[in-house]
Each structure stands twice: as structure tokens, then as C-alpha cells.
Structure 1
Amino acid sequence: MSGETLLCWASVNHGTSVLTGALEALAERGHSIERVLLLVQEEREAPEDLPQHLQIETMALPVADPTDHAALYLTLRAKLLPQLSALEEPLHVNVSPGTPAMHAVWLVLAAGGAFPPGTRLWSSQRPDPGAPARISPVEFAPTTWLSALRADLAQTPEQAAYDPDALSADRRAALDRLARYALVPGVPLLILGERGVGKTRVVESLVAKLKGGRHVVTLSCGHLRGEGVEALLFGRVAATNDKVSAVGRGLLHEADGGILFLDEVQDLPRDTQRILLLALQGGVRRWRRLGETEHQEAQFDLVCASNLPIDELEKTLDPDFFDRIAHLQVELPPLRDCPADLQADWGRVWREIGFPGDPPWSPTLERALTEARLPRNIRDLQRLAAIIVSTRPDGPWNVSLQRQALEEWRAVGAPPPGDFGIGTRKQRLHWFQTRLALWAKERYGTWEAAASELACNESTLRVDAKSKFPFEN
């Protein structure tokens, strides 16, 4: 093998001897290490007394107490793992340099499948300075649901998905609940969350994997128009020359053995909800195709998603249909409530789109994303990524281009930081009126519907929406 990477902490007590010994021992085992990622507690230059052919990179991970398991785990999750996600060459981790707490964290990360597929853990020893270096593989590979899920997700890296072991408490709680609920057979699962929060990708990646890799048949109910909805779902038959032939099998048939995913379920016509409700009774789904008297049968799990709050969704759906699909509810938090996961989200968006190179990251970008409201969630990250690429098609992303990209990004649709803007009371009220007008139009579809819902004049909302924030640069 060639082009392999070795990851380890810098040894405090033994200098570079631990590292050089590990490199020698790995070479004897046939591993050609060309890159070393050396972790240090404080910023410092890479050691000079190492083989010249090596590419040495130091990464400072400030940990106040190297015996604190939780602090070590969270620091590595937040700072190190995003750097490894795009690694293509084989990765080796020498667990020996560091504290016993660090050894435990390496094992936990490996058991949870946090490292790139194929990563190997090693333990190096040199009994005394004159003895030859030795290295042994660390055989610690218990299968956990987390490691199995990550291994499955790694098979489709082009599909961005949330890390199931999220850093933010809100997202971690939601995904833990999702993992439990997805394993309940036959009971519908309802996923709630704002537009762009990633409900579809959660269903098509995490939920599908948790349910054993089942196929997903998706129906976007917001695109349903006019007649044909029931034929699309249930199928239909036609009689010609005294013969009955199937014209369309329907999505319920296609979902047999898998998952039927009704996205934007609030837009499903009420008549269709009532008919679908009958098909959802019992473990085996039974329904009639249009134009047929015999029942069809299939087995599938139902997952629904909506961007409406639960109280609004309950008012919108048929009461019996809502009761049937709402037993198990998971609400995905918006990105602005998960700041610890923003860097990982940004990296996944960048790689999913297929932009060249590593995703850019800097304190300025981190601050901009943390302070932004991100009303469109992942779609805001996608738009920023596209703007960044347009500013540096052939060169490095320097500070000037960074500012240019962020200014363009903020100019369209990204409100100022804070729930009520910034500035004086008058300015904050102005900000709120503008955001309310834009939100109402987006939520209810038309200015007329928005004005009716807010009990105000339509022209008032239009004027508010066109106003500029007086405190924006």
C-alpha cells in the first residue's frame, strides 16, 4: 500500500522516539506511511528530526485536562473528525502516546464507527531505548448500532446525512429518539421540522438504514394537483374487451417490503387521507385499486414529514388520519439551534454538491454561520457554498474573497443576527415587520392568504416585505 496516514498525539515525555519507532514498526509490516497527523495541546512547529519524505502536519487540540474523558471526546469529535471525513488514503491510529483517558476515547470512537472505513488502531512499545520498536494491532471492534449505521452510510458518501452521534444536545436527542422509534415495526413515524432542515435525507438515509436498508418510495404531497392522486397511490385497472388489466400498480405496491414516505403530508387531500387510513389498519396493508373489487396486499412502514408545527398539522389533517400517523413524533431542530454541528453540516453540504478541494473554514465563516438565523437551514449552506465557489474558481479562498462571498450571501434572505434584529427599538420593530411579512408569504403561499391569516391589508404586507433594514451595511 502507498500514501497511508498515521495519526497520533505527540509524546510529551519521549519526544519523537515513539513516533519514529511506530513508523519503523509499521514499515516492517508493509505499511508505507507518507503523511503524519500529529496532535498537540498547543500550537507549535512540526518536529524537524523526522524522515524528510514524510508530510508532517500538526493540529493543536486545546484540552485543559488530558485526563477528562468527556472533554477529550468532544474536542476530537468537533475538531479532528471533520478533517478525517474526506480522507481517501488508509488511516492508522497509534493509541499509545497520550493518557489512559485518551486510549479509552480512541477505543470508543473506533467502536462507534467514527473513523473512515478501514481505519486500524495500533499500540506501540519500546521496552528500553536500545530495544527494537514493536507495534501490535488493537483488536477492539464490538459491533454497535452506531458503527453499523455509519458503515452503511459510508457506502453512499455522495448522499449527505446527519452524523447520528451529533454534538449538539438538541440534535442528538432527536436522532436518539429517531433510532428508537424507527425500530418499532408497523407503527407510522412522523418527522417534523422547518423547511430545509433535512427531513427527506434523514428518511432516505438514517431511517432506511435503521430499518435494515429498506428501499424508500417517496411521494411529495405538495406536488399533487387535480385528479389522479388515488390512482397514483393505490393503482388502477381498466376493462377492455371483457378483460381487466392493470394500468398502474400504485405507490403502495411499489413500497411493498420497504418504506412509503409521504413528504409534506399536510398537502395530502382529505378524501385521500380517509381512504389511505383504511389501508393502514393492521400489519398487512390492504386496499383496492381503482376499478377493482378485489383487495391488494403489501407490507411496508409509513413515514410522514411536515414543516408545520404539530398543533397546525393537527388542524390541517383529517382528525382520524392525524391520530393514526402521529403516535411516534420526532422534531428535527433547526441548524441555528445546533451550532456545535455547523462545521460538520457545512462539510457534508460541500462534499455532497461535489465542489473541489476541502470545504473552507475560518473563524470568520464560523462566526457568520453561528450568528445567522439560517431560515432555510441546509439550503442556506448550499447557497453560501455556491457563492464561495463563484468567487474563487481557480485560486485560494483568501480573506478578501471570503468577505465578498459572505456579503453576497447575507444580502439575499439572510436576516441579521438575533430573534429581533439589532439596533434601536424602532429598528428592531422594523426588522420584525419585514421578517413577518416574508415568513407569512412563504408559509401561506400568497399575499392574499397571508393577509387573511394575519387579519391585515395585503398592501401592508407587500410594503413591509420590500423595505430594507436601515441598520444593515
Structure 2
Amino acid sequence: MGAREATETLLMWASVGGGPAVLCDVLRLLRAKRARIGRVLYLMQAEGMPLPAKADLGDVELEQVFVPLSDPTHHTVIHEAVRARVLPRLRSLDGVLHINVSAGTPAMHAVWLVLHAGGAFPEGTRLWSAQRPKHGDSRIDPVEFPIRTYLAEIRRGAAANPSEAQYDPDCRSAARRYALETLARYARLPRAPLLLLGERGTGKTRLVETFVGHLKGRSNVVTVPCGTLDPNLAMSQLFGHVKGSFTGADKEHAGFLAQAQGGVLFLDEVQDLEARVQRQLVRVLQDPKRRFRPVGGTEEKEASAEIVCASHLSLEALRARLDTDLFDRVSLLLVEIPPLRECREDLREDWQRVWREARSSGELPQDAPWNGAMAQALGKSPLSGNLRDLQRLALILMARATGGTGGRWLEEGLAEWQALQARFEAVERKDVQGEGDLGTGTWNERVEAFKQRLARAAHNEHGSYVAAAEALAVSERALREHAKGKKE
């Protein structure tokens, strides 16, 4: 058998009543269409269904896939079963996939079409409808179903980068589904600023770089972590500068906004921009042509760039940190990305994607480990770090699996993760509630204890002592001293 023959796969339900004969007929008809099927994924509703003889299959490999259905006429039952039992098996396919959609109930036919329209199958998948009329010869016809949804658009982008952990747009939890559907609607609007809010670790950056960029049809996404901008050079870093505009400007610099020409400028943690940069950004946003003036320049330039902002702060806290005009403009379209603890129905699939991205050795299992203990641990954990908690779990398990710890690596790794989670959660509670109590001793000693808590909490909320001092109208030196437990 040639290499091409071995890579083409047929996927179909076992026909109740006609099973083996229908399968063999489909294989014969597809050969006549020049398909070279080397493997069949044969979906069986019940164990013990009849199979074709090996002689009838020839050199075609038959793989039985048991997919129990409580009701083969119920679309949701079929859809969930196929997602859980069939789609994971298709990730490793490296050749053409053929699907015979005609075997089974009408509801089964519909599910194949829905999944195909949503981009659930590998690129290049071909759908077929085999007919066995009472009179005349059997035939098989291609099914042309060109309808595409935003699910298909996003999945095509994800398929191009299979090693990256990305949210499945066809998610199970209501909270995430609402957020992603809203994001899909908003992302299609040209020249409309977009604001994403969500806790740290909810994957906002990955969503913008994949989901938003793909839906806007702009592959060039320039990501700017605003907290990393040099306060003295932020204007130049963002808007560029002309040669000679300041000491050290020995050549012209384009800036991030110009680099995002024709693409997306993503301002991550936008609240960390200093005040004068925020004011300049207001000028860019209020101009439909996105005009801006580089530092030292006398003429304005245009940047055909979409602007997306994100923050881990609440809407109220972000409003207090941003220039009023800037807040009004970036918050016109708001999407809140829910934390993982509100999307536990998606946890197993999130875990699978995180595992695949973190998997660094062929010795590690391709499918993420899963058992009752892990399901219970993830179901109870507050997951305050969101995807980072899953990344920590993956790395711990991988370290134990490759570290020669024996057959108990999963059990021991899960226990290690739970112990670490408890420590991180204790730190998180202290950040929210304040460290310890209000101290002991005199009134002044207790006031100093409170100031220390306030200084540390402000630093955590605002990301730096500079930003915290500006928000609290206090000197940076005083804030640092109080955080150390010393008087100014």
C-alpha cells in the first residue's frame, strides 16, 4: 500500500441492520472516486454489532469506536457523544478524512453537518452521502456544505498552531459561551475599540492574538504590555520619534502604533500607561483615520490599526485609573472573560489543551491524565490563578512522570499540586483581606500596621509603587517605607 493510501481515513456510523454490507459498499464506491482509504473509524452504538470479514476489507484497517447513545434521534445526545468520543481521535490524523454522513438516523446526519460547519474536523475533510436505492446501482455523492460560522474561522486559526492552548469557541459553560459569542460579534466591527476585562491567567492575550485577530482578518497583532514601557520613553515607544527629537534619537523610530499598521494594536494592562500617553491615545482614538504625531514630529501620520485594550482590574477600578476621556472611548465595547471557576464544565477540555501545550517530551502521554481524584481536585479548587493553575499542575505531573518516581507519579503529583495551591490561596486571601490583624499594642502601633497593609495592597492592585503612589496621592518613598513597616 502506498503512503497516500495509508493516510486517508473513512469515518462513519455502523448501520443497524445493514452494517458490514453498507461499509463494504461505501469503500467500493469511494475507491471508484479515487479515494484511497487505508483506515476506517467505525462508530458503534452498541458492543457486539456485526463486523465485516477481514477478507472483505482487504488491507483496510478497521478501528471500532464504541459511542453509546441513550437516544440516537436526539441531536444533543449525539453531538455530546461525538465531541467526547470521536473528535479527540481526529487530532492525530495527518491525511484526508472522509465522512459518510448518510449512515444512521437523520439526527446523526444533521450533527455531522453542524460539526463540519463549525470547523470541528481537520482541514480538507470531505463529506459523502451514499445511497442504496431499491432499484438501480448504489452511488455516493459529495456533500457540498459551504456554510461557515465564526467557530470555523477560529478553529482554522487554532489548527494552524496546534501546540498553543486556546479556548474552544464551542464551549460548554454558559458564562464562557456568552463571553466568546459577544467577543465574536464585537471583533467584526471595524475601527471600534474593544476592551477585555478578566482576572490574571484567563488568557486575554491569547484570545486577542488568535480569536480577535483572526476574526478581524488581521494577522499582524502587536502586543504591548503597558507596564513594561519605560516612563521616560513611553511616548516614543508607542508613537515613535523623528531623528534628533531628543538626546540619543540618532535615527527615526516607528513605534508600536505604526508597527501595527494594517493589524491590531493590543494594549495589555492599559491602566499602566502614564497620564500623558493616555491623553495622546485619546487623540488617536477619536480620529477615524487614527492619526498621531511622533515625538518631535511636525506632521501627523495615519495608522490603519484596530485598537484592543485589556485589564485585570474591575470596571470600577479601571475607571479610577484611566483618563476619563480614554476610559469613555475604550469601554464602548466591553467583554468580560469569566474565570475558570465559573466555567467548570470546560475544565477537562481546558486541561487537555494546557497539557498538550506544556508537553515537552515524546515519552509523555499525548492525552492529559484524568481520573476521579483529579476531577474532584479541579472541581473544588478556587483556581484563582486560572489557566496558570492548570499549567502548574501539568508541569508538576510531567516532572514526576519523567523523573523516575514510579507508577504513583499521578497520585503524588496531584497531592504536590494541591499543597502548593493551598499556599498560593493563603497568599491570595492575605492580599484581599490584609496581612494578619491590625497589630497589637498602642493606637499608633495599630495604625502603623494598617498603613503597612494598605501600602502592600495598593502595590498589588496597581502593579507598582509609582502607580500606587499616584492613585493614592502620596509620595512613592512614603509608600515604600510603610510597606516595609517603617515610618517615613
TM-score (norm 2): 0.79
Larger CA deviation: 65-74 vs 32-41: 32-41
Aligned to 2:24: 20
1:453-472 mapped onto 2 (5 Å cutoff): none
Larger CA deviation: 267-276 vs 99-108: 267-276
Are 2:384 and 1:391 aligned?
A: no
Paired positions, count: 434
Q: 1:37 aligns with which of 11, 32, 41?
A: 41
1:410 alignment partner, SS class: helix
In structure 2, C-alpha distance between the alignment counterparts of 1:412 and 1:21, rounded to whole Å: 57
Aligned to 2:430: 437
- CA-based RMSD of the aligned residues comes to 3.3
Larger CA deviation: 268-277 vs 184-193: 268-277
- Per-residue deviation, residues 445-470 of structure 1 (Å, max 9, x unmatched): x966345799xxx9xx99xxxxxxxx
Unaligned runs of 5+ in 2: 436-451, 461-479
Are 2:374 and 1:369 aligned?
A: no
Which one-letter code corresponds to 1:105 in the other structure?
A: V
Which one-letter code corresponds to 1:112 in the other structure?
A: G
Q: 1:114 aligns with which of 114, 120, 123?
A: 120
How many angstroms does 1:220 deviate by?
0.1
1:70-85 mapped onto 2 (5 Å cutoff): 70-85=76-91
2:167 alignment partner, SS class: coil
How many angstroms does 1:271 deviate by?
2.4
* Contact 2:355–2:368 under 8 Å retained in 1: no
Aligned to 1:218: 223
In structure 1, C-alpha distance between the alignment counterparts of 2:343 and 2:217, rounded to whole Å: 28
1:194 alignment partner, SS class: coil
- Per-residue deviation, residues 115-156 of structure 1 (Å, max 9, x unmatched): 11111112223446x997643322222233433443344333
In structure 2, C-alpha distance between the alignment counterparts of 1:405 and 1:208, rounded to whole Å: 37
Larger CA deviation: 378-387 vs 24-33: 24-33
How many angstroms does 1:318 deviate by?
1.8
Which one-letter code corresponds to 1:363 in the other structure?
A: N
Higher strand share: 1
Are 2:344 and 1:349 aligned?
A: no
Which one-letter code corresponds to 1:403 in the other structure?
A: E
Q: 1:320 aligns with which of 319, 322, 325?
A: 325
How many angstroms does 1:165 deviate by?
2.3
Which one-letter code corresponds to 1:373 in the other structure?
A: P
Larger CA deviation: 356-365 vs 114-123: 356-365
TM-score (norm 1): 0.81
In structure 2, C-alpha distance between the alignment counterparts of 1:43 and 1:399, rounded to whole Å: 31
1:129-140 mapped onto 2 (5 Å cutoff): 134-140=139-145
In structure 2, C-alpha distance between the alignment counterparts of 1:441 and 1:320, rounded to whole Å: 33
In structure 2, C-alpha distance between the alignment counterparts of 1:398 and 1:18, rounded to whole Å: 47
Aligned to 1:407: 415
CA change 1:26–1:343 in 2 (3 A) is farther
Larger CA deviation: 7-16 vs 153-162: 153-162
CA change 1:415–1:135 in 2 (3 A) is farther
Aligned to 2:109: 103
Larger CA deviation: 264-273 vs 38-47: 38-47
Aligned to 1:64: 70
In structure 2, C-alpha distance between the alignment counterparts of 1:415 and 1:20, rounded to whole Å: 59
Which one-letter code corresponds to 2:421 in the other structure?
A: G
How many angstroms does 1:31 deviate by?
3.0
In structure 1, C-alpha distance between the alignment counterparts of 2:233 and 2:37, rounded to whole Å: 61
* Contact 2:20–2:52 under 8 Å retained in 1: no
Q: 2:367 aligns with which of 359, 368, 373?
A: 359
How many angstroms does 1:342 deviate by?
2.5
Aligned to 1:205: 210
In structure 2, C-alpha distance between the alignment counterparts of 1:29 and 1:2, rounded to whole Å: 13
1:412 alignment partner, SS class: helix
CA change 1:354–1:52 in 2 (3 A) is farther
Larger CA deviation: 366-375 vs 330-339: 366-375
* Contact 2:221–2:266 under 8 Å retained in 1: yes
Are 2:290 and 1:285 aligned?
A: yes
2:195 alignment partner, SS class: strand
- Per-residue deviation, residues 246-266 of structure 1 (Å, max 9, x unmatched): 531211111222111100112
Which one-letter code corresponds to 2:429 in the other structure?
A: L
Are 2:374 and 1:381 aligned?
A: no
2:94 alignment partner, SS class: coil
Q: 1:188 aligns with which of 190, 193, 199?
A: 193
Aligned to 1:425: none
2:317 alignment partner, SS class: helix
Are 2:171 and 1:166 aligned?
A: yes
Aligned to 2:278: 273
In structure 1, C-alpha distance between the alignment counterparts of 2:95 and 2:422, rounded to whole Å: 38
How many angstroms does 1:52 deviate by?
7.2
* Contact 2:194–2:330 under 8 Å retained in 1: yes
* Contact 1:45–1:58 under 8 Å retained in 2: no
In structure 1, C-alpha distance between the alignment counterparts of 2:264 and 2:427, rounded to whole Å: 41
* Contact 1:38–1:56 under 8 Å retained in 2: yes
* Contact 1:372–1:415 under 8 Å retained in 2: no
How many angstroms does 1:283 deviate by?
0.8
Which one-letter code corresponds to 1:436 in the other structure?
A: R
In structure 1, C-alpha distance between the alignment counterparts of 2:384 and 2:91, rounded to whole Å: 27
CA change 1:280–1:102 in 2 (3 A) is same
